[in-house]
Structure 1
Amino acid sequence: MLTQLAAATGVLALLTLVPGPDMAIVTRRAVSRGRADGLRTVGGIAVGLLLWGALTAAGLAALLAASAEVFLVVKLAGAAYLCLLGAQALRRPGAGTALDGTAGDAADRPAPGRGASAWRTGLVANALNPKIAVFYTGLLPTLAPPGLRPAAGMALLVLVHVLLTLAWLSTYVYVLSRARRFFTRPRVRRTMDRVTGVVLIGFGVRVATSAT
């Protein structure tokens, strides 16, 4: 069983490292708002994965994946949300809280309501991503260790996926924070916001036009 679990972890790790909407959202929050906001966004993303894991265990994710109408509604809602985040970045490039190199960790102290906003951004982006339902109902069962009951195997793999996502995106936020002085430059901030805005809109269009 350990061999199968190790192989499944390797597959999940590779899939976690592939750049996607989550990384673009985390980049936007970490660069414009600071390390703490980036980590809160990562936390929201993790909760979104746990939500999909719970829906999968309840059989609702399979229903979503099998229902073309429901899948379309969730897909379009998720695409619209990504496009909204991208449009916000393009409309006000560089407008986030300054990551001032002389202010110590001041940028990492959340303003009232800002922490909840970062957490909610990550959660909503993942909760409206129907591809996770397809991923959890289609791929995870093929990776589940054969020595466990199906429900236990799925729960274990969802937990592994969440931990891998937390580890990878938190490390990514830390790397971005180490380059704080570079990202405080106004021109760099505006460029990063424009790039991530275009990327988020691109992901939104891709989600909206994808067949599955």
Structure 2
Amino acid sequence: MVDPVMLLAFVPAGLALNLTPGADMMLCLGQGLRSGPRAAWAASAGIALGAFIHTFLAGLGLGAVVATVPAAFEVIRWVGVAYLLWLAVQTLRQAGQAADMPIVSTARAFRTGLIVNLTNPKVILFVLAFVPQFVVPEAGSVLMQFLIFGAILSAGGFIINGVVGVFAGGAGQRFARGSRVLDWLSASVFAGLALRLAIMERT
């Protein structure tokens, strides 16, 4: 299945990557700040599923197509930019509404995390660059090894990003739920992620 030595090497490396602040962590922070811990965990679950899907596709070889075809890379990237900007606009449009109601449902937070992760082509390139270093063809099915490593990365990311979102949610609850400050902060997170995705380089 998986070479034991490679597994022992992969776990701390994957954990270190999960702990590195990035777009996924910022998204969970924004969701937690705006809508509380449940939304943060839901967004983290969506991100984890997206990361696992990326790993599965890389194992099948489809990720290599995106990495080598510039047009495919650019289409995915700009779809992600457009979606993040749409989220920022929607957040500002809802600013100050319904102080006693959650602004974002867990289902919507999950969907947001999933879509944002899947439309970030940088994740595809990362998976293709990182995971194969630990795959040993002689140890068995290459696809199965990709899936095991992907599950480890997804589980670690789910816990770490979720915890970040929970702490942000605790801070957010000190403000009124409909506070325009929280809405502007959340919109800024989405807009910042869109800008980061728009200006990033392929390598």
TM > 0.5 fold call: yes
- 1:162 deviates by 0.5
Stretch deviating more after TM superposition (193-202 or 52-61): 193-202
> Which stretches in structure 1 are left out of the alignment for 5+ residues?
100-106
Task: Quote the residue 1:197 is aligned against.
Answer: 187
Q: Normalised by the size of structure 2, how large is the TM-score?
A: 0.82
Superimposed CA distance per residue, residues 82-112 of structure 1 (whole angstroms, 9 cap, x where no aligned partner): 222233334444547548xxxxxxx6xx99x
Tell me how far apart the structure 1 counterparts of residues 192 and 198 of structure 2 sit (CA, whole Å).
10
**How many residues get paired?**
199
Aligned partner of 1:160 among 149, 152, 161:
152
Tell me how far apart the structure 1 counterparts of residues 150 and 173 of structure 2 sit (CA, whole Å).
37
Task: Quote the residue 1:9 is aligned against.
Answer: 11
Q: Normalised by the size of structure 1, how large is the TM-score?
A: 0.79
- 1:25 deviates by 2.2
Task: Quote the residue 1:20 is aligned against.
Answer: 22
Secondary structure of 1:139's counterpart equals helix
Tell me how far apart the structure 1 counterparts of residues 185 and 167 of structure 2 sit (CA, whole Å).
18
Superimposed CA distance per residue, residues 63-91 of structure 1 (whole angstroms, 9 cap, x where no aligned partner): 11111011110011112212222333344
Say if 1:52 and 1:133, in contact at 8 Å, map to a contact too: yes
Aligned partner of 1:115 among 106, 124, 128:
106
Task: Quote the residue 1:42 is aligned against.
Answer: 44
Tell me how far apart the structure 2 counterparts of residues 3 and 87 of structure 1 sit (CA, whole Å).
48
> Which stretches in structure 2 are left out of the alignment for 5+ residues?
none
Task: Quote the residue 1:175 is aligned against.
Answer: 167
Task: Quote the residue 2:69 is aligned against.
Answer: 67
Task: Quote the residue 2:57 is aligned against.
Answer: 55
Stretch deviating more after TM superposition (70-79 or 166-175): 166-175
> Which AA in structure 1 matches 2:8?
A
Say if 1:41 and 1:119, in contact at 8 Å, map to a contact too: yes
> Which AA in structure 1 matches 2:65?
L
